[in-house]
Structure 1
Amino acid sequence: MMLAGQAEATEPMFARIGGAIAVDRLVEAFYRRMDNEPSAKALRAMHGEDLGPTRQLLKRYLLEWMGGPKLYTAERGQPRLRERHLSFPIGAPERDAWLFCMRGALEETIEAPDLRADIDAALTKLAFWMRNQADEV
């Protein structure tokens, strides 16, 4: 016997979020915020002038990360995100700016509070793991 909400929790996040269209909206909202938020200025400066390729990579990564098609791995191999980002100084300020933009994008694009919280919790763990700079004392 399944309890209410139990089936939803076992569905891949990709299905729960609404598939590729929802991931696309999330990524577009994220980069729009990164372009416009003064607190994300240093984070934005780490990216190239043209965000198009970066947008596509994040979309492919999130599709796969959420349980959708394995487009990122097919194109780039195993994600190895931390290794791929070692050339970028990622400390607490960069992590926090990234999370600020992503949380705003989640708020803008994901209506269900429980789903938004699940995604936020998972992305927060990922953002903390991506740090490669010690806190300044």
Structure 2
Amino acid sequence: MSTNSPYKSHGGFGRLFNALSYSAKGLKAAFRHEAAFRQELLLAVVLVPAAFWVGRDALQVLLLIGVVVFVLIVELLNSALEAVADAVTLEHHPLIGRAKDLGSAAVLLALLFGAAVWLACLYLRFF
């Protein structure tokens, strides 16, 4: 029995093109099916331009944008975990429930961290 997945790519530019295509499909799916991702993306549309005004230097601007992107990444991972869990079963299972709760907790921590960074930079900018 072979342990190699028939779905794994073999490298080259074709692999890069496929990876970009899969990533675009993932972003499109998140936008279409995940309300939380759409809300956080709307927040990003506001916060990314604001980062250039709030940040006092390039490092702060990068940090402000970075935490916004970090929240989006964690939300994507949480959504992926939930999709896999729902594909396994839609019935209540304590371990699947725990996995979903852990993913949700990760999003909460990312949001709290992002809020703390933004508040700290706003404080430095205006006080």
TM, length-normalised to structure 2: 0.33
More helix as a share of residues: 2
The higher-RCO structure (CA 8 Å, 6+ apart) is 1
